[in-house]
């Protein structure tokens, strides 16, 4: 058996293994995620953000910070405008995307976290712990990079009662899906003044730095924006083929992942053909 023939067989075997690995990944990506047993109408009624510009958040609501110390929203604000974000720390998709989008935006504006405004992330999951909050906070601080000591960054957890006071004030509704053990919820930023007045809402998971900067400045001047977001990205997407909801973000990732894998397979097939041509010519 010639050396070229042996190389050809080894190359073909390696190619087959790689293809099988990628096929397994494809199957994992396209498998349908568990869907909620509730009807679409029920989910829609329980999930979303209803903007309440001009209203106040409960400044006396008490939460625990990353060190398990109690802190009120008044203390966290410290008379400075703030970017308030409602999350839960075990969220597999949307909360991390929103947090990353926030860090990218605040990293590109002139205002400094801690000096000019605060970032306050509050978990709406009463089961979340200060330990989880600390991990989330360290991740944010590391990505931000400007203040290693973390001044102005708050990740808070609290009781169901205090969480409901805050979510009710800002118009935030989430839904726990027992089937998939996840929350269905919307994503957005709530800008508040140093005295706790809601001045503006920003929707989505990617935020325009200029718009965020303007919103922070307006909050510093106690100006309530007449422009309010009215469309908030949610974790869930209605699937008309099943009559149920699935995770919109997870499906987006699956689709993008599938397209990426198709491209990889195409490239590998092209490279294999090129190798075969070279072996034949040799």
- Domain membership of residue 27 (yes or no) is yes
Give the pLDDT confidence of 15-31 residue by residue, as tens digits.
554 555 555 445 444 44
- Domain membership of residue 8 (yes or no) is yes
Residues listed for the chain: 282
Give the pLDDT confidence of 267-278 residue by residue, as tens digits.
777 766 766 666
Same domain flag for 94 and 27: no
Q: Which CATH number does the domain housing residue 141 bear? A: 3.40.30.10
- Domain membership of residue 80 (yes or no) is yes
Same domain flag for 55 and 190: yes
Same domain flag for 22 and 157: no
Same domain flag for 134 and 4: no
Name the more confident of 182 and 265: 182
Domain range for residue 27?
A: 1-31
Same domain flag for 16 and 44: no
Same domain flag for 64 and 160: yes
Residue 127 clears pLDDT 50, i.e. is over it: yes
Please state the rounded mean pLDDT for residues 139-149.
Answer: 89
- Domain membership of residue 249 (yes or no) is no
Same domain flag for 26 and 153: no
Note the pLDDT of residue 70.
98
- Domain membership of residue 259 (yes or no) is no
Same domain flag for 54 and 183: yes
- Domain membership of residue 245 (yes or no) is no
Same domain flag for 1 and 19: yes
Note the pLDDT of residue 266.
74
Same domain flag for 192 and 137: yes
The total number of structural domains in the chain stands at 2
Residue 33 clears pLDDT 50, i.e. is over it: no
Note the pLDDT of residue 11.
54
Around 78, how many Cα atoms within 13 Å sit in the side-chain half-sphere? 14
Give the pLDDT confidence of 160-214 residue by residue, as tens digits.
999 999 999 999 999 887 877 888 888 899 999 999 999 999 988 889 999 999 9
Please state the rounded mean pLDDT for residues 67-90.
Answer: 97
Same domain flag for 80 and 107: yes
Same domain flag for 25 and 126: no
């Amino acid at each position: 058996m010639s050396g070229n023939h042996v190389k050809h067989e080894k190359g073909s075997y390696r190619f087959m293994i790689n293809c099988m690995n990628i096929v397994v990944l494809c199957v994992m990506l396209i498998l349908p995620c568990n869907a909620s047993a509730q009807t679409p109408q029920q989910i829609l009624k329980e999930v979303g953000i209803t903007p309440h510009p001009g209203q106040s958040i409960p400044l006396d609501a008490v939460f625990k910070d990353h060190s398990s110390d109690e802190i009120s929203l008044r203390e966290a604000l410290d008379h400075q405008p703030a970017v308030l974000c409602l999350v839960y720390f075990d969220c597999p998709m949307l909360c991390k995307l929103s947090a990353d989008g926030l860090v990218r935006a605040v990293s590109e504006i002139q205002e400094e976290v801690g000096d000019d405004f605060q970032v306050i992330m509050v978990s709406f999951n009463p089961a979340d712990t200060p330990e989880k909050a600390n991990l989330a906070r360290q991740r944010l601080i590391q990505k931000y990079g400007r203040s290693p000591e973390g001044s102005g960054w708050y990740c808070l957890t609290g009781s169901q009662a205090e969480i409901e006071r805050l979510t009710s004030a800002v118009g935030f509704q989430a839904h726990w899906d027992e089937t998939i053990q996840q929350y269905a919820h919307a994503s957005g930023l709530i800008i508040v003044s140093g005295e706790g007045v809601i001045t503006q809402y920003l929707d989505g998971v990617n935020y325009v730095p200029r718009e965020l900067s303007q919103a922070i400045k307006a909050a510093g001047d106690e100006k309530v924006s007449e422009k309010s977001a009215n469309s908030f990205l949610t974790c869930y997407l209605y699937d008309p083929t099943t009559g149920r909801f699935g995770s919109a973000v997870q499906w987006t990732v699956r689709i993008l992942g599938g397209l990426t894998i198709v491209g990889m397979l195409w490239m590998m097939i092209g490279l294999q053909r090129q190798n075969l041509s070279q072996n034949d010519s040799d």
